[in-house]
Amino acid sequence: MSLFDHVLSLGDNALILGQQLSALTGHGPVLEEDIATANIALDLVGEARLWLSLAGEIEGAGRSEDDLAFLRDEIDFRNVLLVEQPNGDFADTMARQFLFDAWHEALLAALCASADPRIAGIAGKCRKEALYHLSHSAGWVIRLGDGTAFSHDRMQQAVRNLWPYTGELFEADAGGTALIGANAGDIRPLWRQRVADTLARAALEVPADRWMQGGGRRGIHSEHMGRLLAEMQHIPRSHPGARW
């Protein structure tokens, strides 16, 4: 993976998850969660803008954040499959968010030490937000896991269903991760510890590692991705060259 692809991947993860959460605005289980969800979506879209702008700068072909978000085809998106999994119900949304946040915060923390000051700067800013996201989603994993019998089963099933998408977070990159200054594999123990601790407090089992899904970072996505991009991209693509 080139530096451009690495930075694109950071931007695409934030963009796709932000897009997914933004679809939930106004439909949450309680008003406070509508506000939280919109706020987290806003943080992620903000993060995506920073990474995609930097990716455009690194590429040097004059592509803006919007060109990269709205005018790329699915095969050129570098996000992990986890973030494109459907919103489902509140347990599915929160399980996805927690598994992501526990990794995202650790990755950003590692990137704060990047030799590239642009990367370290963005990581430093976004890590503060990611800490809040993690505290919020872990809180819900615990509340639902340790709530009623129904919520426990829903959360356990959601974690099980999403587990096969967690392996991709730690795939070693051909071409080296030294480019951005964080090694995906080094983050794994911290992520694993966070997940084990939170699931234990939630009275939930950590699923067994079996076959892990992958491909998102190489542009091979799930069936959900095409519709997500169609919705997100259709206006800019319907009005080529228009400014908004």
Partner 1 sequence: MYAQMVDTGVQRVLDAAELEGDERRFQDRIDAGIRVEPEDWMPESYRRTLVRQISQHAHSEVVGMLPEGNWITRAPSLLRKATLLAKVQDEGGHGLYLYAAAETLGVSRDDLIDALHAGKAKYSSIFNYPTLTWADIGAIGWLVDGAAIINQIPLCRCSYGPYGRAMVRVCKEESFHQRQGYDIMTRLAQGSEAQRRMAQDALNRWWWPAVMMFGPPDGESVHSAQSAAWRIKLHSNDDLRQRFIDQTVPQAELIGLTIPDADLRWNEERGHYDIGPIDWEEFYSVVRGDGPCNRERLAARKSAWDRGAWVRDAAAAHAAKHAGEQK
Shortest approach of partner 1 to residue 240 CB, angstroms? 10
Sign (positive or negative) of CA dihedral 159, 165, 168, 169: negative
Q: How far is CA 6 from the centre of its chain?
A: 14
Q: Based on CB atoms, which residue is closest to partner 1, 65 or 168? A: 65
CA distances to 134, 150, 162 from 210, rounded to whole Å, are 25, 26, 12
Please report, as a single letter, which amino acid is at residue 207. P
Enumerate binding residues for partner 1 (CB under 8 A). 15, 19, 22-23, 25-35, 38-39, 41-42, 45-46, 48-49, 52, 65-66, 69-70, 89-90, 142-144, 146-148, 150-151, 154, 231-232, 234-236, 239, 241-244
> 10 Å Cβ neighbour count for 101?
23
CB of residue 226 to partner 1, shortest distance in Å: 14
Q: Considering beta carbons, is residue 154 or 221 the nearer one to partner 1? A: 154
- Considering beta carbons, is residue 117 or 241 the nearer one to partner 1? 241
Give the shortest CB-142-to-partner 1 separation in angstroms. 7
C-alpha distances out from residue 40 to 9, 36, 160, Å: 19, 6, 24
**How far, in Å, CA of 221 to CA of 215, rounded?**
6
Distance CA 125, CA 191 (A): 20
Cβ of residue 244: shortest distance to partner 1, in angstroms? 4
* Minimum CB distance to partner 1 smaller for 148 or for 174: 148
φ and ψ of 72, to 5 deg: -95, 150
Which CB sits closer to partner 1, 145 or 167? 145
Nearest to 109 by CA among 183, 214, 176, 220: 183
Query: Alpha carbon of 132 to those of 110, 179, 199: distances in Å?
Result: 17, 28, 18
| Closest distance to partner 1 from the beta carbon of 235 (Å) | 4
| Shortest distance in whole angstroms from residue 172 CB to partner 1 | 30
Nearer to partner 1, 32 or 223 (CB): 32
